[in-house]
Amino acid sequence: MFYPRIEVDLNKIKHNTSTLVNLCKKYKIKVAGVTKVFCADTEIAKAYVEGGVDYLADSRIENLIKLKEFKIPKILLRLPMISEVEKVVEYADISLNSEVDTIKALSKASKGKGVTHKIILMYDLGDLREGYFKEEDLFEAIEEILKLEGIEIIGLGTNLTCYGGVIPRGENLGRLVNLANKIEKEYNINLDIISGGNSSTLHLLINDKKIDGINHLRLGESIVLGRETAFGNRIENTYDDAFQLAAEIIEIKDKPSVPIGEIGMDAFGKTPTFVDRGVRKRIICAIGKQDIDFDSLIPLDDGIEILGGSSDHLILDGTDSKVDYKVGDEIRFKLTYGGILRAMTSAYVKKVIK
């Protein structure tokens, strides 16, 4: 057995996917399964596809290249870099865009390859990450884009609860839908996709607040962790432990809770403070900040408390646990979204997908 490792339960991922695909289907919404948190591992992506997603989506073109064998359309989520347009038109069927210069470069690349690249134009409803902000700028851009060869505008999209934490509501999403209708009339084009955001938009469906006109969502966190991200509520009939981290115990000793001697800086340049709780049972695991952010760990044993650690060591308090841990045993954790991202990206964490 190799530690530390992250274990992924494909049946749980498939189950979560079909729960969310069915919820969205009720509202005639298609789902793009977002694969970036697990670096587009193809086995996990396959569980998405078996669970019924209509598209696969990722922010990085390297990840979409890994997914090239899947037959369903692939979406590049991060605005393309001009330096990567050749790869974008080859490996992404659709990309999200908000810059005419980039779209011109995509046009040139797709013309060169004799293909048509589809784009979804992004409109910012106030979260202040990507997308056109002023209607007149969007209209002006569309006029230029319609003149380009090898490019087809197939939709309008938005992104919320990312930078600004803005909650999707009928009001802001309604503005997106109205804008899409206006564009269709003004330019006599069909916008097949109205993409109403990410896992944060799900709270509207869960509470049966239907948003007419939105027919597409891009879901990552809700599938991998079974929660909506506007308020962080768990979603019924999903698992929150499809991804689990296991670390091996390398030391168990009773020690005081306050260090002995003059306190200076810790390994990361911060001056630590301590509460005296007497002698406690301290457990050290062989995992550190190079593998994981300690804030992202949720011990499965609720008698375990995370004290801290350094690059390669995680220090736990096991005094209140009912388990009689021994050196060489493993301690298991659920993870936050950031934790899954970091562990899946770390070369030191073994991936066990089953």
Catalytic residues: 36
Using CB under 6 A as the binding rule, whether residue 341 contacts ligand PLP is answered as no
Residues that contact ligand PLP, how many (by CB under 6 A) = 13
Query: What distance, in Å, lies between the first and last C-alpha atoms of the chain?
Result: 15
Q: Which is nearer to ligand PLP, 226 or 318 (by Cβ)?
A: 226
In angstroms, rounded to a whole number, what is the distance separating the alpha carbons of residues 339 and 124? 28
Residue 95's identity, in one-letter code, is S
Q: Is 282 left (phi over 0), alpha (psi -120 to 50) or beta?
A: beta
Query: DSSP states of 299-325 as a string?
Result: ESSTT-EEEEE-SS-EEEE-TT-SS--
Part of the chain binding ligand PLP (CB under 6 A), chosen from 171-179, 212-220, 282-290, 340-348? 212-220
Applying the rule CB under 6 A, the residues between 213 and 252 that interact with ligand PLP are: 218-222, 229
77 binds ligand PLP (CB under 6 A): yes
Q: For residue 198, state whether it binds ligand PLP (rule: CB under 6 A).
A: yes
- Please tell me whether residue 95 binds ligand PLP under the rule CB under 6 A: no
Q: Which of 20, 29, 31, 34 binds ligand PLP (CB under 6 A)?
A: 34
User: CB of 173 within 8 A of CB of 125?
Assistant: yes
In the complex, minimum distance from the CB of residue 252 to ligand PLP, in angstroms, rounded to a whole number: 37
Residue of the chain from 18, 95, 110, 199 that contacts ligand PLP (CB under 6 A): 199
By beta-carbon proximity to ligand PLP, the closer residue of 58 and 291 is: 58
- The stretches of 52-84 forming alpha helices (DSSP H) are 61-66
Binding mask 121-160 for ligand PLP (x = CB under 6 A): --------------------------------------x-
Q: Could you tell me the smallest distance in angstroms from the CB atom of residue 50 to ligand PLP?
A: 19
Site for ligand PLP in 285-304 (CB under 6 A): none
Subset of residues 36 to 75 that bind ligand PLP, contact rule: CB under 6 A: 36, 59
List CB contacts of 238: < 8 A, sequence separation 6 or more: 15, 16, 19, 20, 222, 226, 227
Cα–Cα distance for residue pair 18/47, rounded to 1 Å: 10
Side-chain-facing half-sphere of 98: CA atoms under 13 Å: 19
Q: CB-based contacts of 250: which residues, under 8 Å, 6+ apart?
A: 284, 285, 286, 327
For the CB of residue 285, give the shortest distance to ligand PLP in the complex, in Å.
28
Min CB(265)–ligand PLP separation in Å = 36
Of 32, 173, 179, which Cα lies nearest the Cα of 92? 32
Nearer to ligand PLP, 199 or 244 (CB): 199
Q: Is 13 among the residues that bind ligand PLP (CB under 6 A)? A: no
Chain residues in the site for ligand PLP (CB under 6 A): 34, 36, 59, 77, 159, 198-199, 218-222, 229
